[in-house]
Amino acid sequence: MKTFVYIAAFCLFSVVSSCQSNPKKAGDKTPVNTALPVDDFEKKLTSPGVQLVDVRTPEEFNQGHLKGAINYDYRSPQFTDQISKLDKSKPVMVYCLSGGRSGAAAGKLGELGFQEVYNMQGGMMKWNAAQKPVEGASAPLGKGMCIDDFNMLLHTDKYVLVDYNATWCQPCKRMAPMLDSLVQAKADKLKLVKIDADENKDLLKLKGVEAIPVFELYKDGKLIWKHEGEMSGTALVRESKL
């Protein structure tokens, strides 16, 4: 019996040793798909051979982008063909407005065999909030609603639920019917204000909104509740105490 145990143990050791000693072939790489905070993303931009891709729409790109970025719209039918022409041997860095589209783009790059892909967490919203440099801005400063206009919307005896959203934001789209139904059901005490993130960039920066969707609840002009991210109608009512 002891002899059998010794033999079995020796065989197991041999198998494990064989697996561990199997050398990695030269040139083998593990695909990297990394989300980086804006500070780390900015530092990584100085690496040799970096290919920087802005995956927003051309309109968004023209309103301000990172220096050296090329614009391949993630939602364009040509997107896959465009990114396929990038050099797979060099790192690719992608960003969008808040990180959603660039995260999906990073996944697509990984599927296409790119070995180093970096996605900027929070996108341009985080980048702008950190007051980092942009170039190519053609949109005038002060675009969208000013803070005085915003405060005027809060002057009511009802609760005011502010929904920061965007037309391309999928969680925003999923929540929109629920929000409309909620306001309709509570029309006697609740008012809904929708703020488009693309059209009110200065306001969002001033309010410290760095990702969407974001919800704020006001009473008598004072902020009493805030939530970032998608949530169910039941959770919204429960947490906000509406």
Residues annotated catalytic, as ranges = 169, 172
Element (H, E) at 95: strand 92-95
Q: Could you tell me which residues come within 8 angstroms of residue 53 by beta carbon, excluding any fewer than 6 positions away?
A: 69, 70, 71, 72, 83, 86, 92, 93, 94, 95, 105
Residues in the chain: 242
Q: Where are the alpha helices (DSSP H) in the chain?
A: 2-21, 38-44, 58-62, 79-84, 100-111, 123-129, 147-153, 170-185, 201-207, 233-240
Half-sphere exposure of 29 (CA within 13 A, CB side): 14
